[in-house]
Amino acid sequence: MTVAPVIDQLDRPLGVLRLSLTARCNLACPYCCPDAKEPEGLLNLEAQLAVIRAACRLGAHTLRLTGGEPLLSDRLWPLLEQLAAGRTDPSDPLHQLRQLTLTSNGILLTPQRALQLKALGLDRVTISLDGADAISVARMTGLPGEARTGERLLAQVLRALKAARAAGFDPRLGQLKLNSVIQNGVNQDQLIPLAALAREQQLELRLIEYMDVGNRNGWTEQQVVPAAEMIARLHRHWPLEPVGRAHHATANRWRYRDGGGVVGVIASITEPFCGDCNRLRVTADGLAFTCLFANEGLDLRRWLMPRPDHAGLMAVLTAAWHGREDRFSELRAQLGSPSPHAEMAYLGG
């Protein structure tokens, strides 16, 4: 199979497809504000595979399955089965996928599901956790004051990490990571406890600046804890040395000098990395977004329903990427916040 990588207006190739399986979540994190129900017209399995194969033909080498909470979707398992079969066939565009990952809050990640994910060829699991104690977990999952619920959720996430590790997702190989959003005035006190937890679990922790995605979360710049400040605070506890940010990656990484592992920071607000962004997002109902901060998407359903028009889909995605010039984070001050602004859970983060 011949791959013809597409390049946008800023010479950025398409490399990563983030496919959302659902906009629903079993948590209510206030920085994300997920929907309570699915949008209409969800892509079926045939349409999902058509989108993935088209992206692969255009150069995508990584597929990230997201939500909402993707483990809520009963469409996850049939999709993984088809992806596993296609990746082993050199004539299938899916053979181009070098990495298949899933992002989850971990609540539904049982030992059985972790083993299924591994058996179906998933290469990496990223778990989201924004607090290291019951009260903080309750607050960050939209359940303030519910300490007992926070204890239960934290215990479930820790069990999920154990299950993923037992299933063969090796954190030393980057196959199991921990994501944490740090919000000033809300959970900034959890920075050191989360880092201590990640060090204890030998996990790479990725600290994420609170972002202005969507209209529901009440974002203000004062709520952002800058990446440089987070690294400085960590450095005072455990001295760090820079590793850097790989080309097209989101995280700028640092290594603990005492051998305690690696920590990354995703600084979309204070240190934007638009210049080499290679990600295309497709929502669960088939809208393609070329930027996390975009205010509108391209509706692909015309080329997907009732049956995929593969040539038409290739043409429209090629044109969309060729015309892409998004760099909202770099131009945030000049552009202001676009309106309407798609929500994070709908876009898949």
pLDDT of residue 340: 64
In the block, residue with structure tokens 């994300």: 32
Average pLDDT value for the chain: 93
pLDDT of residue 117: 98
Cα(first)–Cα(last) distance of the chain, in Å? 31
Percent of the chain at pLDDT > 90 equals: 80
What is 16-347's CATH number?
A: 3.20.20.70
- Please give the structure tokens belonging to residue 210: 């609170």
pLDDT of residue 247: 94
Cα 239 vs. chain centroid, distance in angstroms?
A: 28
pLDDT of residue 105: 96
Beta carbons of 161 and 203 less than 8 angstroms apart: yes
In the block, residue with structure tokens 């290679």: 278
Beta carbons of 102 and 126 less than 8 angstroms apart: yes
pLDDT of residue 2: 60
pLDDT of residue 144: 74
Q: Give CA separation, 244 vs 24, 74, 240, 286, 344, in Å.
A: 34, 38, 12, 35, 27
pLDDT tens, 318-341?
Answer: 999 999 999 988 887 676 655 666
Which residues make beta-bridge pairs with 62?
16, 99
Can you give the pLDDT of all 349 residues of the chain as single tens digits? Answer: 666 789 999 999 999 999 999 999 999 888 887 777 888 899 999 999 999 999 999 999 999 999 999 999 999 999 999 999 999 999 999 999 999 999 999 999 999 999 999 999 999 999 999 999 999 999 999 887 778 899 999 999 999 999 999 999 999 999 999 999 999 999 999 999 999 999 999 999 999 999 887 767 777 889 999 999 999 999 999 999 999 999 999 999 999 999 999 999 999 999 999 999 999 999 999 999 999 988 889 999 999 999 999 999 999 999 999 999 999 888 876 766 556 667 777 887 7
